[in-house]
Amino acid sequence: MLERTLRLVRGYDWTLLIVVLLLTFVGLAAIYSVDLSKGDTLIFFPVQTVAFLLGIVVLVLAASVHSVFYQSFSRIAYIGVFLLLAGVLVFGMTIRGTTGWFRIAGFSLQPAELAKVSLILFLSWIFYRHGRQYYKWQFVASTILVVGLYVGLIMLQPDLGSAFILLSIWFGMLLFSNTKKRYIAFLVGVGVGAFLLGWFFLFAPYQKARLMTFLDPSLDPLGSGYNVSQSVIAIGAGNVFGRGLGFGSQSQLHFLPEAQTDFIFAVIAEELGFVAVVGVFVLYSLLIWRILLLTRRCRDDFSSYVLLGIALLFFTQVVVNIGAATGVLPVTGVTLPFLSYGGSSLVINFFLIGIALSVARSHT
């Protein structure tokens, strides 16, 4: 038993683990600071701490499983999450206009977070099974069906941010698979058409308002444009070393809505300054680089695509969240990995790191 444990520990990428822990500790510090502004009782910090401890356990368990398990389990996981996404529309809890959570024993479960994991695993299995015959249209069509079922159910919640993340993972994996360029061009055209249809028939009014405000924040500076305006002010107010943890006026005086989730980056920038912002960018760069570096150990397409999908997921979420906080991209409610408040999101992120360690260790 001891020998097996030592062998497992030696197979870890400790640089990757240290980066993940540092990001999580920064997130916990920022969430604690936001909690201070809520009163004497801490609300978010205890829940996030429990999620962190649970995430460590999930990471260790996920890393101890051989990659063959994930390959064989990918189809069952896809079907199971599909049923959860359908069920949450009927039995789920509605928060801020989105019916996307199950409430179980005092804890919330968001199936859209599980969808990110199962989609990466199932798409990787499809890429592996096709034996690199990416030139066939049937291959592209099968991936469209797989991602389309998930995206369709998530858009019914509606959760535009999660749907965009899933589409980004799928599209990125297609690009790296050397799929024919004319197929890619066709899909881009279909995507533009789908967006136009969604704008007129599917998007909720608040989602349209977010996009319009992104194009021109002055359209509604006290309404849909308020969050972004306050976020930009907070980021600029941090200067080099910040105002100090717990002393950010934007977050502490509640000028910055959803400071613990959508705009946690603005809290870090205001209270810890430009130095911390650079540190966060360095940590995220190391995170994605180390995951991609693990692909060098892989000897099969399934493992390589799993690692690619995980890297694409983290990269896309970082770009979308920080882009929204700085006013460069529309606000879609996408969390910042390991930093934003959210138990489901944090545990799933640790699960993904565990899977990355597992598939890399299985080839050593």
Q: What digits encode the pLDDT tens for the residues 139-173? A: 888 889 999 999 999 989 888 889 999 999 999 99
Structure tokens at 43: 């609300």
Q: Around Cβ 223, how many Cβ atoms within 10 Å? A: 11
**pLDDT at residue 10 is higher than 80:** no
Average pLDDT, stretch 89-98? 82
The confidence score (pLDDT) of residue 252 equals: 72
Share of the chain above pLDDT 70, in %: 87
Contact 351, 117 (CB under 8 A): yes
Q: Position of tokens 């881009």?
A: 188
The confidence score (pLDDT) of residue 347 equals: 94
Average pLDDT, stretch 330-340? 88
- Per-residue pLDDT band for 41 (boundaries 50, 70, 90) equals confident
- Per-residue pLDDT band for 265 (boundaries 50, 70, 90) equals very high
**Is the dihedral angle over the CA atoms 310, 314, 315, 320 positive or is it negative?**
positive
Structure tokens at 317: 């979420």
**pLDDT at residue 6 is higher than 80:** no
β pairing state of 98-104 and 107-109 = antiparallel
State the amino acid at position 342 in one-letter form: G
DSSP string covering 110-170: -HHHHHHHHHHHHHHHHHHHTTT-TTSHHHHHHHHHHHHHHHHHHHTTT-HHHHHHHHHHH
**Average pLDDT in the chain:** 84
**pLDDT at residue 92 is higher than 70:** yes
**pLDDT at residue 248 is higher than 80:** no
23-27, 134-138, 177-181, 202-206: range with lowest mean pLDDT: 202-206
Average pLDDT, stretch 296-304? 85
Q: How far apart are CA 48 and CA 50, in angstroms?
A: 5
The confidence score (pLDDT) of residue 2 equals: 45
- Per-residue pLDDT band for 292 (boundaries 50, 70, 90) equals very high
The confidence score (pLDDT) of residue 194 equals: 78
The confidence score (pLDDT) of residue 130 equals: 76
Looking at the DSSP bridge assignments, the partners of residue 98 are 95
In the chain, the N- to C-terminal Cα span, in Å, equals 19
Q: How far apart are CA 94 and CA 101, in angstroms?
A: 7
**pLDDT at residue 134 is higher than 70:** no
Q: How far apart are CA 52 and CA 25, in angstroms?
A: 9
CA atoms within 13 A on the CB side of 113: 22
The confidence score (pLDDT) of residue 219 equals: 54
96-100, 204-208, 243-247: range with lowest mean pLDDT: 204-208
Distances (CA, A) of 227 to 116, 117, 214, 215, 324: 27, 30, 11, 14, 10
Asked if residue 221 has a cis previous peptide bond (ω within 30° of 0), the answer is no
Nearest residue to 163 (alpha-carbon basis) of 121, 191, 135: 191
- Please give the residue that has the higher pLDDT: either 280 or 12: 280
State pLDDT tens for residues 203-239. Answer: 767 666 666 665 555 555 555 567 777 888 888 887 8
Contact 333, 257 (CB under 8 A): no
- Please give the residue that has the higher pLDDT: either 107 or 61: 61
Q: How far apart are CA 268 and CA 234, in angstroms?
A: 9
This prediction has a pTM of: 0.90
Contact 115, 162 (CB under 8 A): yes
Q: How far apart are CA 31 and CA 147, in angstroms?
A: 33
Contact 162, 99 (CB under 8 A): no
**pLDDT at residue 69 is higher than 80:** yes
- Per-residue pLDDT band for 281 (boundaries 50, 70, 90) equals very high
Burial (CB count <10 Å: 0-12, 13-18, 19+), residue 181: exposed
CA atoms within 13 A on the CB side of 100: 26
**Is the dihedral angle over the CA atoms 57, 59, 64, 69 positive or is it negative?**
positive
**pLDDT at residue 339 is higher than 80:** yes
Looking at the DSSP bridge assignments, the partners of residue 108 are 103
Q: How far apart are CA 289 and CA 311, in angstroms?
A: 8
The confidence score (pLDDT) of residue 119 equals: 96
The confidence score (pLDDT) of residue 7 equals: 56
Nearest residue to 258 (alpha-carbon basis) of 147, 165, 355, 161: 161
Q: What angle do CA 71, 72, 76 make, to 5 degrees?
A: 110
- Please give the residue that has the higher pLDDT: either 285 or 199: 285
Share of the chain above pLDDT 90, in %: 43
